[in-house]
Structure 1
Amino acid sequence: MPAESSPLEFSPEARQKIDRLCGRYPSKQPVILAALHLAQKEFGHLSDDALRLVASTLDLPYPHVFGVATFYTMFRRQPAGKNVLRVCTNVSCMLRGAYEVLEAFESRLGIKVGESKGDFHLVEEECIAACANAPAVLCGTKYFLDVEPGQVDEILSALEQSPHPESEVA
């Protein structure tokens, strides 16, 4: 079943990136993750219309694109603050106090995991590849390592002064 048309459109630059990537592979399926990152960067989150755009651009079924977008935690289906705080709670981080760090962020921001307040959105992440310096928090491309609950105010202040939005990642 072909994807429905979408009122959204990729910027010419994003469309060129997708076209270049599609030229590297015998099918368009390997380009899904890159296209989803570009859509999230351009539109802020992956709405149904953004997923339809990715599906129609890659000539793939919408349910497949939806499944990929909802499987990975780095994709957001709802708008979020520009600073997405990804607190790792995988085993290394958990053993060194990640849940206490997560609770400190929740308390300080007055929100729960998955919620936004002002410029901040809080996510519990499975792994951010910083096990040697657990517990770790990732915001955009900025890592905060060996984090203790008492450092949460300092981290939030630093991000207020110098945001690290995910839109700079893709």
Structure 2
Amino acid sequence: MDFKDYIRVIPDFPQPGISFKDITTLLNDGEKYRLAIEELKSRVSHLKIDLIAGPEARGFVVGAPLAYALGVGFVPIRKSGKLPYETIEVGYDLEYGKDKLAMHTDAVKPGQNVLIADDLLATGGTISTSVDLVRKLGGNVVGTAFLIELGDLNGRAKLPGIDVFSLVHYDF
């Protein structure tokens, strides 16, 4: 199945020159959404995974159902100040500023194998920050999984030695 057929492309959003990949059209088709999660599951099921972590917000809609399908736990990665318990944080650069991502300090135990899942791999900033968080807690990042990868933005370069699994690839 070509999942590209279920992803809406919106030109010039959120600014001119950007071609936004809108996954809501995939998510609102229950059968295609299920098939996308099942396909990701088949691509990562050979890995020994104890937990799946997903950065907010669309990492939740990929990571949580994938964790359920694999029978493992899910760990949310949130923006700074959004988690109620003690956290660790890692900062990262945005196009026009800086931000921080956070996890609970007890979310990952040393030695646990973690797959990080998100909707999109672009420049790799969010996912490499998520990798740093998992590693700071002693977890092993065994791979990353995405619905979409924007190949020309070369986000893979920020994930040396980490397997990357993507359902759909776009190149400019």
Question: Scaled by the length of structure 2, what TM-score is found?
Answer: 0.24
Q: Give the number of the structure whose residues are more often strand, by fraction.
A: 2
Which one has a larger percent helix, Structure 1 or Structure 2? 1
